[in-house]
Amino acid sequence: MTATADIRRLFLRLLLVAILAIFLAQALFPFAWMAITAFKRDSDLYNPTNNPFLFNEPPTLAHFRLLFKETKFPRWIVNTAWVGLATVLITLVLALPAGYALARLRGRVGQNLGIAVFLTYLIPPTLLFLPLSQIVSSIGLQDNTWSLVLTYPSLAVPFVSWLLMGFFRSLPQELEEAALVDGATRFTAFWRILLPLAVPGILTAVIFTFTLAVNEFIYALTFVSISDLKTVSVGVPTDLIRGDVFFWGAIMASALVVSLPVALLYNAFLDRFVEGLTAGALR
């Protein structure tokens, strides 16, 4: 029986390792493909007789030189970082008090308001960019990165408010009540007691909001047409796809440069990110 149990445990462990290996390969394949394509020479990349997974010719940095010297990619990165950080700041300023208020509204009223806030997140951006484009044009923000900074929170605030609502509900309300009994104001209790405990939820909101701002395409394409003001999500496809000519090496190099920091950020804060997403579900 002992030998049979050992064989069974070994088989289950090997099965688990095989499953994890499959998921790991699936997760790493896009990065490997981007890296291979970004460092391949054009003569190797466009030769159908060559193995696409191997370097049939020596690697090259030509695609990165094209990206950084013949396009405005460095400027697009700066624009993307500015828009993303400003969107995160505005979203947190609006969503933190909203999530806290919804969490403290007990009963059916708070639950219904939380659901209503989340439902606004489900409205497709394709239904909003036309009226928003008229508003942006009427206030003189067309071809201005501020148009993105002011419209992106409309995509992030509903979900982040709902997310933080669930996280604040998972925090013991007795801590806040004790601070109020000791003479603290509600704002002081929120600022000094709840916010430090809500770091995992806030970090989740920051990562979600920044990723949304970096990847958003429709608003960035509609509101900004000047090349110097574009973000990476719009600048790369509009400048590196010219008619039916695709600069695949430079496109993959740009994807690699942008995606690696985001992937490392997710990996560095993975535990807190998962904690922030699941905290409200366990209450």
Q: What are the structural domain ranges in the chain? A: 73-282
* Least confident span in 54-58, 191-195, 200-204, 276-280: 276-280
pLDDT tens column, 85-113: 999 999 999 999 988 888 887 767 767 77
Distance CA 8, CA 111 (A): 47
The pLDDT value given to residue 282: 47
Q: What is the pTM of this model?
A: 0.82
pLDDT at 78 over 90: yes
- With cut-offs at 50, 70 and 90, classify the pLDDT of residue 281: very low
pLDDT-wise least confident of 15-19, 107-111, 177-181, 188-192 = 107-111
57 CB contacts (<8 Å, ≥6 apart)?
Answer: 40, 41, 43, 44
At 278 the pLDDT is: 59
Domain 73-282 grouped into CATH 1.10.3720.10: yes
Q: What per-residue confidence (pLDDT) applies to 1?
A: 52
The CA-based diameter of the chain, rounded to the nearest angstrom, is 79
Instruction: Provide the 10 A C-beta neighbour count for residue 116.
Output: 12
